[in-house]
Every structure is written in structure tokens, then in C-alpha cells.
Amino acid sequence: MEYRIEQLGQVAGVAVDTIRFYQGKGLLEPPRREGRVTWYGPEHVERLGRIKGLQQRGFTLGVIRRFLAGELESSDEALVQAVTAEAAPETLTLDEMANRSGVPAPLLRNLEQAGLLVAVGEGDEARYPARDLEAVGAGLKLVEAGVPLSQLLELAAEHSVSIERTAARAVDLFDHHVRERIQAEGLPGEEAERRLLQVFQELLDASGALVHRHFERALLRAARERIERPL
């Protein structure tokens, strides 16, 4: 059975403009042309259903494109949802962050440039996780204690570069040595999905504890060495 675009929209429950948008983004295969008339088949209905299902899980179009292209497996869905969950909790605009924290918006922009604030989501206006207010508050405590703001921002930028590089390496290790291994075991879809999510959460908690403890230990060691330094 084939459909005109209006019929396809009715069958799939998707607006015609949305179908055209998906085509423009390469998410939907081109229809069969018969002169000036275009015809869509069952594969288009199936693809639109798949897109709707992935959108309902909160995935961006960029992530959906990777699923449709086969770059991500269906067993990755729970893992991807967990990774992208940061965009789901409460978010605030920069002005809202300023009102809630008492920190002027220009200063928050400086914190963003230093890597302490990172926008999430794909909207026209940048939004930030509300829980980042805790990081802003921690920075304010250091400033109030006497740490010069300019030097704090410089330290934050230096730390951001280092931690981003380390995080990228850690993700690469997980992808090649954990994710690919689990998928290669040939577990049933739901079981593979559950296993991937379980291992990811365990490693995320372990990594957080490891990084926190390592930095705390290094900070205390540096402080002790400063105290013991001969005059």
C-alpha cells in the first residue's frame, strides 16, 4: 500500500510539515516519484513510528539520526537516555540563574567561559541545570574567602580543559572495552539494554568517587608540602 503525503500523515499521526522537516534533515527516505506525484510506503510509516518512539524517550534529532543510521544499537537506548538525562531535570535561563543565585548575569557568563556552567538542550535560549547553582555557590564561597575572582576563573578554565580530556578518554575506554563487549555477547535486546545501563551506572558512581578522592588526596598533599616547605 502506498500513500500520498497527507495520507501518510494521517496513518502515522504526524503533521505534513513535520514529515517534510524530517525529509529535509535526512531522517526519512525520499518517496517514490511518479511524475509530479510522490508516494510513500509502509517503510515510511514504520520509520515515522520509530522516530516518534525515540522522541518520546527524550532523544535529540542528532541522537535519533544515529539510531536510524545503525550507528547506535536498539540496546543502547536505556544507556543513551541515562547519559542525556541531565537535560530532563529543571533548567534555568541565565537570568533565572542570576536571580536564584544572586550572582550577576555577566559574572555567570564568565563562569560559563571558564567551563563551570554548561548549557543543555537544543532550544533557542540557552538553559542550564538548576543543580549547577550548587557549583556557583561553591565558587562564591572561595571568592568570599579571599580568592581573587580572576585567578579562580583561570584555575577553573585550566581544570575544565584537563577534566574534559580525561572524561573523553574514559568514555572511549567504556565504549570499546565495555559497551562493545556486552553487545558482542549476543544477549536478548532487553537484557543487553539492562546490562549496559547497570554497568554504566556502576562505573559512573565508581568514577565519581575515584576522581573526588584523587583530587582531595592531591589537594591535601599539596597543602602539606606547602606547610612543610622550609623558610
Please report, for the domain that includes residue 145, its CATH number: 1.10.1660.10
One domain for residues 101 and 176: yes
Whether residue 173 is found in the same domain as residue 109? yes
How many structural domains compose the chain?
Answer: 2
**Residue 198 placed within a domain:** no
In a domain, 37, yes or no: yes
Angstrom distance (rounded) from CA 196 to CA 200? 6
Q: State the Cα–Cα distance between residues 229 and 221, nearest whole angstrom.
A: 12
Q: How many angstroms separate the CA atoms of 210 and 67, rounded?
A: 32
Range of the domain at 13: 5-72
- Nearest-CA neighbor of 181 among 207, 200, 165? 200
**Virtual CA dihedral for 22, 28, 32, 38, nearest 10 degrees?**
-20
The 10s digit of each residue's pLDDT in 123-157 is: 667 888 888 888 888 888 888 899 898 888 888 88
Both 89 and 171 in one domain: the answer is: yes
The answer to whether residue 112 sits within a structural domain is: yes
Report the candidate in 199, 152, 194, 155 with the shortest Cα–Cα distance to residue 175: 199
Q: Within a 13 Å sphere around the CA of 213, how many CA atoms are in the beta-carbon half?
A: 6
Q: Tell me: the pLDDT tens digits for 171-221?
A: 888 888 888 888 888 888 788 888 888 888 888 888 888 888 888 898 899
Strand, helix or coil for residue 96: helix
For residue 5, what pLDDT is reported? 92
End-of-domain residue from the set 152, 168, 185: 185
Nearest-angstrom CA–CA distance, 157 and 58: 31
Cα 46 to Cα 51: distance, rounded to the nearest angstrom: 9
Pick the closest to residue 72 from 85, 54, 99 (CA basis).
54
Cβ–Cβ under 8 Å, residues 183 and 174:
no
Would you place residue 20 in the very low, low, confident or very high pLDDT band (cuts 50, 70, 90)? very high
Give the count of beta carbons closer than 10 Å to the beta carbon of residue 198: 13
Closest to 75 measured CA to CA, from 189, 201, 168: 189
pLDDT, tens digit, 9 for 90 and up, residues 67-122: 898 888 888 888 887 777 654 567 888 899 899 888 888 888 888 887 778 887 65
pTM score above 0.75? no
Cβ neighbours of 44 (radius 10 Å):
25
Pair 54, 109 in one domain: no
